[in-house]
Structure 1
Amino acid sequence: MTEQPRALHKIAFDLSEDAAAWARAAVEKLWVEKTDVRMEVRVRNVPFYAKGVAFGDVVRVRIDHERRQIVYEEFVSESGHSAVRLIIMDDDANSRVVDVLRAHDCWWEVDISGRLWAVDVPPPVDYAMMRSSLLRLADEGAIGFEEAALAAGHRQAAGLS
């Protein structure tokens, strides 16, 4: 018997003041799917601005009746995926970044400006090697690089634990 895909819903993640300035919004809405636990959901996309959460992570939500939104309340468990953000500073860097991400079997979304990239780093990725490649590009001034949510396995592999 095949498992039915679960319906996706959007929930609001309140952004820090700094992230809200970048986003030009107070919240970022992420796609989630329900889990079998009441008020716990699994994140189904990579955030552009919210920190501390990655694709597949489970979070607890609450209903905010005043705002008429379902809102992130707290982190529950990690999926093993990490989320990194890249800002393309040099247009010539696009193909080099794509080469790095493809070499590590990552997938990504690009915002409407084409400059901000939200990258999903799956659990089996050799994060130390990928991070080294991205930091080289950052040192050259080609990209800005931010680790928005690092899974324990990636932190350990990169010697960040």
Structure 2
Amino acid sequence: MNEEEVGTSVKLYKVAFDLPEDIAHWARASAERLWVEKTDRKLEVRVRNTPFYVKGVAFGDLVKVKPDGERRELVFDEFVSESGHSTVRVIIKDPDSIGLVNDLLRGLECSWEIDSSELLWAIDVPPQIDYRSLRLSLLDLNSKGKIGIEEGAIASEHRSMIELTDSE
């Protein structure tokens, strides 16, 4: 859960997001279950944590779900709208880089979750963050072999920051 959720009484539920076969093999799971909260619309929910494996979804995004009677759970049906948040994943390749990544994210006021291996980080990049700066710093660490990165879901505002950099 994102830091802004701490201490609130929002009721959260889990929704299954089925993973493509190549990702499911790597994740060792057929689905990733994300926390969501209900909205005023039937079967529409707001994502309340940052995914480790699901692509195209970020913290705060609105998605539609459908019941799966056979599995006895709600499953992702379709994307509705973005929240302005982006999802970036980092794989730590050099343990000495953990402090660098931690300091970078704290300095930009991003939040993140770390998987049980402590090597895979799911980073939430809020709308107000200068994504261009964060991305350049992560790409630098990547080029030095310290981390691997994947942009899981980049919000339109953050994409426009990248396009500005690419066209300069």
TM-score (norm 1): 0.95
Work out whether 1:53 is the aligned partner of 2:53: no
- CA–CA distance in structure 1, aligned partners of residues 137 and 103 of structure 2: 10
From 51, 66, 69, the counterpart of 1:65: 69
Q: Which runs of 5+ in 1 are unaligned?
A: none
Secondary structure at 1:61 match in 2: strand
**1:6–1:34: 8 Å Cα contact kept in structure 2?**
no
Secondary structure at 1:25 match in 2: coil
Q: What amino acid is the match of 1:87? A: I
Out of 151-160 and 83-92, give the one that drifted further: 151-160
Secondary structure at 2:22 match in 1: helix
Q: What amino acid is the match of 1:127? A: Y
Q: How much has 1:55 moved relative to structure 2? A: 0.2
- CA–CA distance in structure 2, aligned partners of residues 99 and 140 of structure 1: 17
- Give 2:41's aligned residue: 37
- Give 1:146's aligned residue: 150
- Give 2:3's aligned residue: none
1:76-91 aligned within 5 A: 76-91=80-95
- CA–CA distance in structure 2, aligned partners of residues 21 and 79 of structure 1: 29
The aligned length equals 158
> Structure 1, residues 1-23: CA drift from partner, whole Å, max 9, x if none?
xxx84310000000011211121
- Give 2:5's aligned residue: none
TM-score (norm 2): 0.91
Work out whether 1:16 is the aligned partner of 2:20: yes
Alpha-carbon RMSD: 1.3
Q: What amino acid is the match of 1:106? A: C
Q: Which has the higher helix share?
A: 2
> Structure 1, residues 39-60: CA drift from partner, whole Å, max 9, x if none?
0000000000011000000000
Q: What amino acid is the match of 1:72? A: F
Q: What amino acid is the match of 1:120? A: D
